[in-house]
Structure 1
Amino acid sequence: MLDLPSSTPVIVAARRTPIAAIGHRLAQLNLTGLTSPVLRAVCEDAEGLVAATDGIRDVVLGNCMGPGGNPARLAALAAGLGTQVPGGTVDRQCGSGLAAILDAAAPIRAGDPGLRLAGGAESPSTAPARSFEGVPYARAAFAPEGFSDPDMPQAAEDLAAADGITRQRQDSYAMQSHRRAADALTAGRLRSELVPLGGLKADEGIGRRPEVIPRLRPLVDGGTVTAGNSTRINDGAAAVLLAPASATQARMVPGLALRSQAIMGCDPALPGLGAAPALQRALAELGADVGDLAAVEIVEAFAAQTLAVLDRLGIAEDDPRVCAEGGALALGHPWGASGAVAVVRLFSRLVRSGAPAGTLGAAAVSVGGGLGIAAVVEVVR
């Protein structure tokens, strides 16, 4: 085991649902139905550690389009964790899942010895319609009056234009994501992280024919962003179990130590850029750089946005470290869950795969309204 401070948060188990398109295979499950089986699975994966401690202290979940009512508390109760286990829900839009994990880690870092469950969930299929004074609206504002507040496809289009990111480059990146995910599915590398639900045992988006992507029409007239180089609207959930290093080291439990993190703002007009400065700050606080990372998971909401982030980080778009088994363009993007899905993917790529102690990885998300969230993790064994 690495010699970590005893209060270092360590992710010791990580699971997620398969991801399905809105109205498809998981449409019959609400947020509680999506999340509670994942919470149970994570606890079962670490049942020895849970039994050896005083159990779960809290559940923190990210969600941005649900019905309210504190979905984390509902999921904790439905998972059978007991009435004594509280819950709290975080909204940082599509960064909510990663933000929830970082929020859950804070008490551990401050010296609390208890275990915590954290992650995110989104069910657009069951989300309530929104209205104000009887007038429906699709989403809340991401920025106040006086600031640019583009819809996400337009924001991706604006970023592609600002950076000169061509349609060909976006399509090529999207096809790469699909091919990597298909290869991972065929090789069985995704299976161990999944909790099958609703008869669905694999991510619904995998298997789409990437060769059709260059034939699709732009979403904006004269633009470069298409349905093929953008992610879909999806249902899904993901969760992890965090424990202090004092508990994991005493029992030789492998996992991912949370070594550094950052949450930053950026121009709301170009929200897709947020992941870049957030990851740069998280790395700088650790005294590391992108060359030290063995695995990177960036939430691929749009190919244009992901490419813009990679360009600023100085990472090649075909770098095998980045979304090596496909990202959100192929797997799907269940908004409030996606940041947690990225962490589950890191857990599989580094811990389940047997990467040596000391190996570094990172997860990063760009968020509507102009935010970036990032975390750097290190393998412990």
Structure 2
Amino acid sequence: MPSERDPVIVAARRTPIGTRGRALAALDVGQLSAPVIRVALADAESATGSRVEVADVLLGNCMGPGGNPGRIAALAAGLGTHVPGATVDRQCGSGLAALLDAVAAIRAGDERVRVAGGVESASTAPVRSVGGVPYERAPFAPDGFPDPDMTRAAQDLAALDGIGRERQDAHAARSHARARAALDSGRFDAELVPLAGLRADDAIGGAGALLHRLPPLFPGGTLTAGTSTRIGDGAAALVVAPAGTGSGLAVRASAVVGCDPALPGIGAAPAIQAALRAAGVTTAEVAAFEIVEAFAAQSLAVLDRIGIGDDDPRVCADGGALAIGHPWGASGAVAVVRLFSRLVRAGASAGTLGVAAASVGGGMGIAVVVEVVR
């Protein structure tokens, strides 16, 4: 049971995820996040029957322009100059890290509502350089530590764990098939805030029929473009309130862990295990998992380590990032929006448990355990 101190996510929304360079490419971080914050707050006011006064806006962001996207979003959303904002960078776990910061502030005694979430505009992220030499990303680890490219690290993990091409292709095909079924049945509709004419995640498609034709990304390797997620533009917003505010997802427990920087893809596994221990529950008691799928091999390695089968219907039941896309700093928050839809919007009974998690560049993992309250 949630304790009387467990903050509650009372509203959760996201934009459709647009593949980098496509439908949302002209929108910067403020233009992506402000509309979804406004709609999420309207949802919260409708659900609680009272006006929501926001204490802070906390957004995850990885590769954006700087300038504090959290504050920019607060102003762009029309929350007033008195509402501050902050930006959290825990790479692909940033959206979840922002949520945990909001939860911590409320648990510490400042029982005012916060907006937490994440935003990434990969299409408008600036080109960085050192001494005039451009580079794609900053180091995830200092000299003397492994710091592989994420795709290379996923291939290394596939080789280490013996996760072959056929199994990866099947996992990616399953993610697309589930997402297509969810899209066709309207299961995404209530969580989405359409932008720039985009009403659905544009990476969802018929990749399953083409996966076997795609060449490996490395000579002799098993990863392909089809078993790697598409980099996306998008935002997600969660309204976090004190316990007892209303129905939603109570945040029971969380964990942030470190792991080998050479194998960052496994980080979600020990984070999930630690969060479940903190909550005093087991994987068997969890009704819904949303684990960010950066690569099929990485996702499968995590499932293997937590003892869950490849096609377990509890995991990314409506498809994961392999199908809907991966807007880095927003993806952890997108995972929570998906849990909100799968559990709260779908009418799950009080006490039903969910887990959201992500593996993180540099060798980290982050996870949160939530429980439906009515």
TM-score band w.r.t. shorter chain: over 0.9
Q: How far apart, in 1, do the equivalents of 2:219 and 2:48 lie? A: 54
Three-state SS of the structure 1 residue aligned to 2:187 is coil
Of 308, 311, 318, the match for 1:318 = 311
Matches within 5 A, 1:112-131: 112-131=110-129
Q: Which amino acid aligns with 1:56?
A: V
Three-state SS of the structure 1 residue aligned to 2:287 is strand
Show the counterpart of 2:93: 95
Of 333, 345, 348, the match for 2:341 = 348
Contact persistence 1:141–1:149 (CA under 8 A): yes
Of 279, 291, 308, the match for 2:284 = 291
- The answer to whether residue 274 in structure 2 is matched with residue 276 in structure 1 is no
Cα shift at 1:286 = 1.2
- The answer to whether residue 166 in structure 2 is matched with residue 168 in structure 1 is yes
Number of aligned residues: 374
Show the counterpart of 1:216: 214
Show the counterpart of 2:74: 76
Q: Which amino acid aligns with 2:373?
A: V
Show the counterpart of 1:202: 200
Show the counterpart of 1:266: 259
Q: How far apart, in 2, do the equivalents of 1:270 and 1:373 lie? A: 15
Cα shift at 1:209 = 3.3
Show the counterpart of 2:300: 307
Show the counterpart of 2:138: 140
Of 348, 354, 374, the match for 1:361 = 354
Q: How far apart, in 2, do the equivalents of 1:119 and 1:323 lie? A: 19
- The answer to whether residue 252 in structure 2 is matched with residue 254 in structure 1 is no
Three-state SS of the structure 2 residue aligned to 1:46 is helix
Structure 1 pair 297/44, CA: closer, same or farther in 2 (3 Å)?
same
Q: How far apart, in 1, do the equivalents of 2:279 and 2:331 lie? A: 24
Cα shift at 1:270 = 0.3
Q: How far apart, in 1, do the equivalents of 2:49 and 2:337 lie? A: 23
Cα shift at 1:208 = 3.2
Unaligned stretches of 5+ residues in structure 1: none
Contact persistence 2:8–2:241 (CA under 8 A): yes
- Give structure 1 regions of 4+ aligned residues with deviation exceeding 2 angstroms: 4-7, 48-54
Show the counterpart of 1:375: 368
Cα shift at 1:6 = 3.5
Q: Which amino acid aligns with 1:362?
A: V
Q: Tell me the TM-score normalised to structure 1 length.
A: 0.96
Cα shift at 1:5 = 3.6
Contact persistence 1:50–1:56 (CA under 8 A): no
Q: How far apart, in 1, do the equivalents of 2:280 and 2:181 lie? A: 34
Contact persistence 1:7–1:111 (CA under 8 A): no
Deviation digits for residues 270-303 of structure 1 (CA, Å, limit 9, x no counterpart) = 0000000000000011111100100000000000
Cα shift at 1:49 = 6.4
Q: How far apart, in 1, do the equivalents of 2:188 and 2:207 lie? A: 19
Contact persistence 1:32–1:78 (CA under 8 A): yes
Show the counterpart of 1:104: 102
- The answer to whether residue 14 in structure 2 is matched with residue 16 in structure 1 is yes
Contact persistence 1:295–1:322 (CA under 8 A): yes
Q: Which amino acid aligns with 1:26?
A: L
Three-state SS of the structure 2 residue aligned to 1:281 is helix
Cα shift at 1:176 = 0.1
Cα shift at 1:55 = 0.4
Show the counterpart of 1:188: 186
Deviation digits for residues 108-153 of structure 1 (CA, Å, limit 9, x no counterpart) = 1112220000000000100111001111011000111111111011
Q: How far apart, in 1, do the equivalents of 2:33 and 2:208 lie? A: 30
Could you tell me the percent identity over the aligned residues? 67
Contact persistence 2:41–2:52 (CA under 8 A): no
Three-state SS of the structure 1 residue aligned to 2:226 is coil
- The answer to whether residue 65 in structure 2 is matched with residue 67 in structure 1 is yes
Q: Which amino acid aligns with 1:281?
A: A
- The answer to whether residue 24 in structure 2 is matched with residue 26 in structure 1 is yes
Three-state SS of the structure 2 residue aligned to 1:228 is helix
Contact persistence 1:260–1:282 (CA under 8 A): yes
Three-state SS of the structure 2 residue aligned to 1:237 is strand
Contact persistence 2:8–2:251 (CA under 8 A): yes
Range moving further from structure 2, 106-115 or 51-60: 51-60
Q: Which amino acid aligns with 2:230?
A: R
Range moving further from structure 2, 341-350 or 101-110: 101-110
Of 220, 231, 234, the match for 1:233 = 231
Structure 1 pair 54/195, CA: closer, same or farther in 2 (3 Å)?
closer
